[in-house]
A and B are shown apart, each in its own frame.
Chain A
Amino acid sequence: MEATGGGFRKELVSKLLQMHFTDSKTKVSGDALRLMAELLTIFVVAEAAIRSVRQAQAEDLALVDVDQLEKVLPQLLLDF
Chain B
Amino acid sequence: MEEDEGTEEQERFSHRQRLKAAVHYTVGCLCEDVASDKEVQFSKQTIAAISELTFRQCEHFAKDLEMFARHAKRSTINTEDVKLLARRSNSLLKYITEKNEELTQFNIEQRAKKKKKLEDDKTKSLAPAEAAASGRDSLALSPGAEAAFGEGRQEQADSPERRMKLSAFILSF
Q: Which residues of A contact B (CB under 8 A)?
A: 1, 5-9, 12, 15-23, 25-29, 31-32, 34-36, 38-45, 48-50, 52-53, 56-57, 61-66, 68-69, 73, 78-80
B78 and A12: CB pair below 8 A? Answer: no
* B86 contacts partner chain A, Cβ-Cβ < 8 Å: yes
* B133 contacts partner chain A, Cβ-Cβ < 8 Å: no
Contact of B34 among A18, A53, A80 (CB under 8 A): A53
B16 and A19: CB pair below 8 A? Answer: yes
* B46 contacts partner chain A, Cβ-Cβ < 8 Å: yes
Contact of B50 among A18, A36, A69 (CB under 8 A): A69
A52 and B62: CB pair below 8 A? Answer: no
Categorize the interface residue count of chain B: 35 or more
Q: Which residues of B contact A (CB under 8 A)?
A: 15-16, 19, 22-23, 26-27, 29-35, 38, 40-43, 45-46, 49-50, 53-55, 57-59, 61-63, 65-66, 69-70, 75-79, 81-83, 85-86, 88-89, 92, 95-96, 99-100, 102-104, 106-107
- Known interface pairs A17-B62, A17-B65, A27-B77; A50-B38 also in contact (CB < 8 Å): yes
Give the number of residue pairs across the A-B interface with Cβ within 8 Å: 162
Q: A22-B63, A49-B30, A49-B31 are in contact. List 20 more A-B contacts (CB 8 A).
A: A12-B23, A16-B55, A17-B62, A26-B75, A27-B75, A36-B61, A36-B65, A39-B61, A39-B85, A40-B58, A41-B30, A44-B26, A45-B34, A48-B50, A50-B38, A53-B38, A62-B41, A63-B41, A64-B35, A64-B42
A78 and B23: CB pair below 8 A? Answer: no
A20 to chain B minimum Cβ distance, whole angstroms, is 4
B37 to chain A minimum Cβ distance, whole angstroms, is 9
Task: State A34–B110 Cα separation when bound (angstroms).
Answer: 16
- Known interface pairs A16-B62, A38-B99, A42-B92; A32-B77 also in contact (CB < 8 Å): yes
Q: Which residues of B contact A34 (CB under 8 A)?
A: 103
14 contacts between A and B (CB under 8 A): A19-B62, A22-B63, A26-B69, A27-B77, A32-B65, A36-B61, A39-B92, A40-B58, A49-B34, A49-B50, A65-B45, A66-B46, A66-B49, A80-B88
User: Which residue of A21, A48, A66 has the most chain B CB atoms within 10 A of its CB atom?
Assistant: A48
